Structures are given as structure tokens and as C-alpha cells.
Amino acid sequence: MWDERYSADEYAYGVKPNRFLEENFSYIPKGKVLSLAEGEGRNAVFLAKQGYAVTAVDASLVGLNKARKLAEENGVVIECIHADLADFELGENQWDGVVSIFCPLPSALRKSLYHRVIAGLKRNGVFLLEAYTPNQLKHGTGGGSSADTMQTKETLSLELAGLKFQHLIELEREVIEGIYHTGLGAVVQVIATK
């Protein structure tokens, strides 16, 4: 599905960074950042332009090829890793920051991934996330049709136990990111520190 979605010439979710990331990236200590399910590179390129050493991981080779192209066009370098998040190893104490922007994973896989995220963060490392909540289903402006891939303050509090939350909120906001996220969205946002 993702290779197909990213195969068009235009960028499915645009080339501008996610607004929540753009407004809050400075919470992430300067250093190495991992962007989960990065897709076509918009958030990774933005972070690289801010001086971070960025690794983008995604299951779509088509998306990552576009991410490399976008990085080149913007005069930055990002490392791209083609991998499935189901078995991607983040290592231990490797990352100053991990970013997850609209990464719709089934809950069982998500719990396993978040366990690896917590282990992979360095001390004082930051996890920054924006995801759709199940309330998004009534808007139909992006995020798919499965409540199981969506998140809430409650699920994140449980799944990210061990991190200290600086910001954990559910809200509705306009999400205008390419043709697949466009309109009022029900989202949850996290900034959490190890």
C-alpha cells in the first residue's frame, strides 16, 4: 500500500514538516534523531536542516527514495533505513530523540515498538509524537479506518510508562499535510523524556 501511495510524483503528505514537530523540535537535545515511519522525508529533512543527525526508517523503499531526493534538494543528508518496524532494532541508549508522526501501527506491534523506543533513547532523550485518536473516525480526514491503530492519552500513558511526560494532550486541530491528511483532525500529542 505505501509503495503505491508514494509512487506519484507529488509528495503524498507534502514537503513541509508536521506543525507539532515544527513548533516543538527544540525540546529534542541536539544530536541523533530517529524518525519512525518517515515516508517521503518531510520531517527528517526539516530536522536535518535544524542541525540534527537524522535517521529515517520506513517500510517503503519508494518513500525513502523520495526522502533522499528531498534531502538532496534541501542541501542536507539523512540516513535512510528500509525496515519493518515490527522487527527494527533501535539499540540501547542510542538516540537523543525519537519522532513518531502519524505512524498507524496495530496496538500489539505499537507496544513492542514503544518498549524498544524507551530502551533506545539516551538518558534525557525525548520522544515526540503526534497521532490520531479514535475520535478521528468521525472526521474522515486521514488516518485510516481502524481504531486499533489510533492512540489516546490513556494508551500512551500505559505504553510509554517509564518516560516523563512534559506534554500529553488530546485536541482537535486542522491537519493540512498533503492530500491524505486534510481537514479537522482529532489528535493526541506527546513530548516525553527518558
Asked whether the predicted pLDDT for residue 5 surpasses 90, the reply is: no
pLDDT tens-digit map of 25-74: 999 999 999 999 999 999 999 999 999 999 999 999 999 999 999 999 99
- At residue 112's C-alpha, the angle toward residues 107 and 114, to 5°, is 90
Question: Number of folded domains in the chain?
Answer: 1
33: domain CATH number is: 3.40.50.150
- pTM value > 0.85: yes
Cβ neighbors of 79 (< 8 A, separation 6 or more) are: 53, 54, 55, 56
Are 125 and 178 a contacting pair, CB within 8 Å? no
pLDDT of residue 2: 79
pLDDT tens-digit map of 135-172: 999 998 988 899 999 999 999 999 999 999 999 999 99
Q: Which residue range(s) make up the domain with 32? A: 2-193
**How many other CB atoms are there within 10 angstroms of residue 108's CB atom?**
10
Indicate the burial class of 193 (C-beta count within 10 angstroms; 0-12, 13-18, 19 or more).
middle
Identify the band that residue 12 occupies on the pLDDT scale cut at 50, 70 and 90. Answer: confident
